[in-house]
Copies of this chain bind each other. A is one copy, B any other.
């Protein structure tokens, strides 16, 4: 029968090997069990590897063939390459000495959840394409919102990254701030003047990317100066809005940050919210990193004023032990966001009798992974108190390290330490009046400690000067690792000052 119907005629490759279908189940089981043991050993001792990969550019690429194999290969062969090629090319985010950027980490329950989610391979674009994806997302985001102490006016949705969350927030703000943008756009319209978004000098680059993407242009973003503690100055924000209105521009949104990327400063959200409400501007709060701190006794005020925001983002993949990627976006006008993005082509019309929520309506991406599973499993495994204890411990360790810096005559702290990140630099007495020499010394010190393979710190610029950053947030990082970092910094400072 098939010969008659196949327009494309006989197909030689169909004759050579009749076995189609997935990986042999016995092989999957064997490979799976092997992988559980492999991963378990890896996670028990990531310190066997240098934190920062030592490969040179091109090494990984050049070690691999330039074309796919014609015939399939066995799992053992693939796993051997994982050991020989993949692992050396990794910078080990699981290493307890990873103190760079934000020291994110996954966790056992999150990893197992991702395994299960990949096996289900269910796609949550519509409620019906897996009801539990939509509904567990609602449950997990409600749990998280309550832990953060935010009111239930906020509806949540999971995106991949805070960059996408902020893009969506500002898209909704653009729609709210200028008439009928969804339909008519903003190009070539004489009734729309250039739109303006405000954030602090220390806000994340995702705000820049969002205004560029949305067609506001990079000049559409006005960065407001910070005070001595790196917090946005509300007086200057109000002045900038006033001045822009007088120049005929159209302010649409302010992005406040709770936990800026470089120094984790917290913008004065209550004062900014006052301004936004008065000026009818969309207030989006980027609490991607520091949001979870609000769960911890003593840090409840972290999100003060955020209950008055229009939208809010926090990243469980940063400081909530959830494997990358999972960004939780909350919005008090989710219908406005849906009005910006929802459209249902014929092939996706649903036939449910009652109203259901379809995740595809809340943004650019049609397809949605089952990401809620990992957040839900992480919260259940550790429990709220288990999470709180770990976050509190990270903040204790940051204070500990910060204290060592403060009592040292070789180092100085460069910013307050509200959460788990310390910005500092080596500042030996003989170089204090030579800023360029200090920059150069600290750059060499950073290279030197990172070259040990035992720690990985990153850096930034503060007031135009090279600053070292030690970020704590990894689930396996203990006081021992922080002490080791401090020991290495002191030791390598001696080495680099002597050479």
* Interface residue A52 (Cβ < 8 Å from any Cβ of B): yes
Chain B residues with CB below 8 A from A373, complex form: 86
CB distance from A157 to the nearest CB of B (A): 15
Q: Is B389's CB under 8 angstroms from A20's CB?
A: yes
Q: Is A367's CB under 8 angstroms from B325's CB?
A: yes
1/0 per position for A37-55, CB-CB distance to B under 8 A? 1011011100000001101
Q: Is A40's CB under 8 angstroms from B13's CB?
A: no
Q: Is B213's CB under 8 angstroms from A139's CB?
A: no
* Interface residue A448 (Cβ < 8 Å from any Cβ of B): no
Quick check: which of A104-112, A232-240, A273-281, A305-313 contacts chain B, the rest being far away?
A: A104-112
Complex-state Cα separation, A199 to B115, whole angstroms: 38
* Interface residue A224 (Cβ < 8 Å from any Cβ of B): no
Q: Is B22's CB under 8 angstroms from A476's CB?
A: yes
Q: Is A29's CB under 8 angstroms from B25's CB?
A: no
Chain B residues with CB below 8 A from A33, complex form: 33, 36
Q: Is B116's CB under 8 angstroms from A82's CB?
A: yes
Q: Which of A350-392 contact B (CB under 8 A)?
A: 351-352, 354-356, 364-367, 369, 373-374, 377, 379-386, 388-390, 392
* Interface residue A453 (Cβ < 8 Å from any Cβ of B): no
Q: Is B396's CB under 8 angstroms from A43's CB?
A: no
Quick check: which of A328-336, A338-346, A429-437 contacts chain B, the rest being far away?
A: A338-346
Q: Is B128's CB under 8 angstroms from A119's CB?
A: no
Given A131-B89, A183-B219, A383-B188 contact (CB < 8 Å): no
Given A14-B393, A188-B192, A5-B402 contact (CB < 8 Å): yes
Given A9-B298, A115-B115, A209-B364 contact (CB < 8 Å): yes
1/0 per position for A243-267, CB-CB distance to B under 8 A? 0000001100000000001100000
Complex-state Cα separation, A261 to B348, whole angstroms: 10
Complex-state Cα separation, A384 to B72, whole angstroms: 7
CB distance from A1 to the nearest CB of B (A): 7
Chain B residues with CB below 8 A from A323, complex form: 118, 121
Complex-state Cα separation, A386 to B69, whole angstroms: 10
Chain B residues with CB below 8 A from A475, complex form: 20-22
Complex-state Cα separation, A331 to B383, whole angstroms: 45
Given A31-B108, A78-B377, A136-B60, A130-B39 contact (CB < 8 Å): no
Q: Which of A89-116 contact B (CB under 8 A)?
A: 89-94, 100-101, 104-112, 114-116
Q: Is B43's CB under 8 angstroms from A25's CB?
A: yes
Q: Is A163's CB under 8 angstroms from B367's CB?
A: yes
Q: Is B396's CB under 8 angstroms from A161's CB?
A: no
Chain B residues with CB below 8 A from A461, complex form: 346, 349
Complex-state Cα separation, A317 to B125, whole angstroms: 14
Given A60-B136, A349-B459, A389-B13, A118-B127 contact (CB < 8 Å): no
Complex-state Cα separation, A415 to B390, whole angstroms: 58
In chain B, what residue has the closest Cβ to A209? B364
The interface centre, meaning the residue of A1, A118, A143, A146 with most chain B CB atoms within 10 A of its CB, is A118
Chain B residues with CB below 8 A from A346, complex form: 262, 460-461
* Interface residue A181 (Cβ < 8 Å from any Cβ of B): yes
**Would you give 24 A-B contacts (Cβ < 8 Å), ordered by A?**
A2-B396, A2-B399, A69-B384, A70-B383, A72-B382, A75-B381, A78-B380, A86-B132, A86-B373, A90-B132, A105-B121, A118-B323, A161-B365, A163-B364, A163-B367, A182-B212, A183-B219, A185-B217, A185-B219, A186-B215, A187-B215, A188-B250, A215-B215, A346-B461
Other than the given A5-B399, A20-B393, A187-B193, 8 more pairs (CB < 8 A) read A11-B298, A13-B389, A59-B135, A68-B146, A94-B120, A123-B324, A186-B217, A187-B250
Chain A to chain B: the 5 pairs with minimum beta-carbon distance, closest first: A185-B217, A89-B132, A215-B215, A23-B108, A114-B118
